Amino acid sequence: MKTFIPTEHPHRRRNALNGDWVLVSPHRTKRPWLGQVEKLPPDDRPSYDPGCYLCPGNERVGGERNPAYTTTYVFPNDFAALLQDGPRGPVSDNDLFQANAETGICRVICFSPRHDLTLPQMEVAEIRRVVDVWALQIEEIGADPNIAYVQIFENKGASMGASNPHPHGQVWSSSSVPMEPAKEDHEQRVYFARHGRPLLLDYVQAELAAQERIVVANEHWVALTPYWAVWPFETIVIPRRHVVELPALRDDERDALGSLFKRLLTRYDNLFEISFPYSMGWHGQPTDGASYPHWQLHAHFYPPLLRSATVRKFMVGYEMLGNPQRDITPEQAAQRLREMGEVHYRTAKGD
């Protein structure tokens, strides 16, 4: 069944996954842009940079030296936001000044030894190795009884806060469940109690039936622009089977995920012919050993670019004080991504 989608008039959409709302204002796509224009990052990095603290064999900022690694490489974050040792439990229970101690483990994952690659430029087998490392990190760190959640994420591009262009992501784990997955846990739990089925499994089936926001899909995975998307070209990646966490993926599902990531991220790069910036991350069940049958594994991609390679969306004003707002509709965004080819623009140009 088709969803009701106003194409010219402002309206609000509810995020079924976390309970938030987004204001959609399709008529504003016609407004002129006189705001900030981003500088294009250089697109000609060498395969090895002697000044890069993530390249093989180089010394990191903290003084440690990387081995001459030839595949995906993981090491402890030299400037971790969370520390493994420290106090635990409430620090202050004052109604106005509440605080809890927080401990955790933080690591860095170099996707490739090559400084000049990004995930869409890597081979599917190489992306599959990254998937395996993600899963292994959740298994290893999640086995710690003091860890309640393991957050895998990647910030790609300077406009999304990446401090180094070398292809890499991070693992932050914590003794409590962070705010965003906690909100998703609540909504999925409520939906499961009401319907007896995981929310995102029902959602992806409805999206497959409607075909309005699907970007790319294969036998095991679906990537789509969610009905409630906030960022202009936001996508969510969901397995077709009920899976609660990355380590539970079968070999064929991991292979298919590598393929789907390459196809999706190539479309991103081809949209404006730029190494497309984004923040992405995996959400799976908490690792506290409890049962979470209501959970469904998924990955979020939050790219900031709006109209071109140099014009990005800012979350300011009404969005900080009221609720998020978007101009281009999720349906329009999905269509534009679908129309992109799956041959990377640099390959097509012979770079």
Read out DSSP for 82-117? S-SSS--EEEE--SSS-EEE----EEEEES-S-TT-
Residues 6+ apart with CB under 8 A from 23: 10, 11, 12, 318, 322, 323, 324, 325, 326
Give me the sign of the Cα torsion angle 323, 326, 329, 332. Answer: negative
Cα three-residue angle 108-80-155, rounded to 5 degrees: 50
Using DSSP bridges, classify how beta strands 106-110 and 168-174 pair: parallel, antiparallel or unpaired: antiparallel
How many other C-beta atoms lie within 10 A of the C-beta of residue 138?
Answer: 25
Cα-Cα end-to-end distance for the chain: 44
In 3-state terms, what secondary structure has residue 298? Answer: strand
Using DSSP bridges, classify how beta strands 305-308 and 298-302 pair: parallel, antiparallel or unpaired: unpaired
Residue 11 annotated among the catalytic residues of the structure: no
> Which is nearest to 169 in space by CA: 204, 129, 142?
129
Report CA 224 to chain centroid distance, whole Å: 13
> Which is nearest to 173 in space by CA: 55, 287, 12, 258?
287
**What span, in angstroms and rounded, lies between the C-alpha atoms of 320 and 255?**
40
How many other C-beta atoms lie within 10 A of the C-beta of residue 219?
Answer: 10
Given the residues 168, 220, 300, 344, the one annotated as active site: 168
Helix (H) or strand (E) run with residue 151 in it: strand 149-156
- Positions annotated as catalytic residues are 168
